[in-house]
Homo-oligomer: A and B are copies of this chain.
């Protein structure tokens, strides 16, 4: 073996398998990060590019000590038992944060500034009752989940003059947020919340985090944005709340069920805006995944902490 000094030795020795099938872009990225490509049986690490947990090998070679998955949300991989405690697993959590945050900002701004009604209108007068137009300037936006997406949103919301109230599991202060509240005190945030962005991971604990009580607690001028997972919002309760006008509207990139079936009441609801899970479009996903793989291969070779490491006890 052709040994070199320092980090380069480790990178030289890291054998990475990319599965399933060939992937020239990721191959370039892995070798560019100093590792070498190896067959699965001889690899130390596996970069898995498939999105369906059912396609993942039932048994991995013992030698594989790290698996990189291509998705940010891996709750189905955990519930199916794919992710074990025998090795290190990393998701792409946070890798797509910028583009999802941009989409969330877009949905929130469009709702607050009454764009949906304007898009549907066919005349100047009917386009938008002026009274519906709001602003994010001076508004308090509660961001549920202060992972990559939530953190990426903070400077964006700051730039348009909004304050961020962050909600996370333990209430550890999020840099840039005006205030951080632990999720167990969620009921305390509603009196000071103007709008809500759901950006938390889907776990058994976060299912229906936004239900009938939370929707009722919102203001008639509030917009709800969900760019996380449909299950975090109780869809039936949302339909009721939108009809009753207890909130101004909901802009959803994710739904439950998903895809939202034809004829679902949300398709006809004027207060609802739906984008079909496109916050992280394929074109941007490839580029962001490549960057994450390059970073994590370098980190693994250097023995440093990996980004997006899955914590089975918290479920993401």
Contact = CB atoms under 8 A, between A and B. Distances in A.
Contacts of A282: 130
Contacts of A268: 122
For this chain, the copies found in one complex come to: 2
Nearest to A116: B119
Interface stretch (A50-58, A71-79, A97-105, A142-150): A97-105
A133 interface: yes
Contacts of A109: 102, 105-106, 109-110
A99 B134 CA distance: 9
A159 B158 contact: yes
A128 interface: yes
A106 to B, nearest CB: 4
B119 A278 contact: no
A204 to B, nearest CB: 26
B274 A127 contact: yes
Given A98-B137, A99-B135, A119 B155 contact: no
Of the candidates A116, A158, A268, the one having the most CB atoms from chain B within 10 angstroms of its own CB is: A116
A106 B118 CA distance: 13
A303 interface: no
Interface string A135-168: 1110000000000000000011011110000000
Of the candidates A125, A130, A159, the one having the most CB atoms from chain B within 10 angstroms of its own CB is: A159
Interface string A246-270: 0000000000001111100001100
- The bracket for how many chain A residues form the interface is 35 or more
Contacts of A98: 137, 161
A275 interface: yes
A161 B101 CA distance: 11
A24 interface: no
A118 B106 CA distance: 13
A133 B125 CA distance: 30
B278 A160 contact: no
Given A106-B110, A110-B110, A275 B137 contact: no
Nearest to A129: B278
A143 to B, nearest CB: 15
Nearest to A130: B281
B113 A103 contact: yes
A11 interface: no
B118 A274 contact: yes
Given A98-B161, A109-B110, 10 more contacts: A107-B115, A113-B275, A118-B278, A122-B262, A122-B267, A123-B267, A124-B260, A133-B278, A135-B284, A159-B159
Interface of A: 98-99, 102-103, 105-107, 109-110, 113-116, 118-125, 127-128, 130-131, 133, 135-137, 155-156, 158-161, 258-262, 267-268, 273-276, 278, 281-284
9 tightest A-B contacts by CB?
A: A159-B159, A124-B259, A106-B109, A133-B281, A127-B276, A119-B119, A118-B275, A156-B159, A124-B276
17 contacts: A98-B161, A103-B113, A106-B109, A109-B109, A109-B110, A113-B275, A115-B273, A118-B274, A123-B267, A124-B261, A124-B274, A125-B259, A127-B275, A130-B281, A130-B283, A155-B159, A156-B160
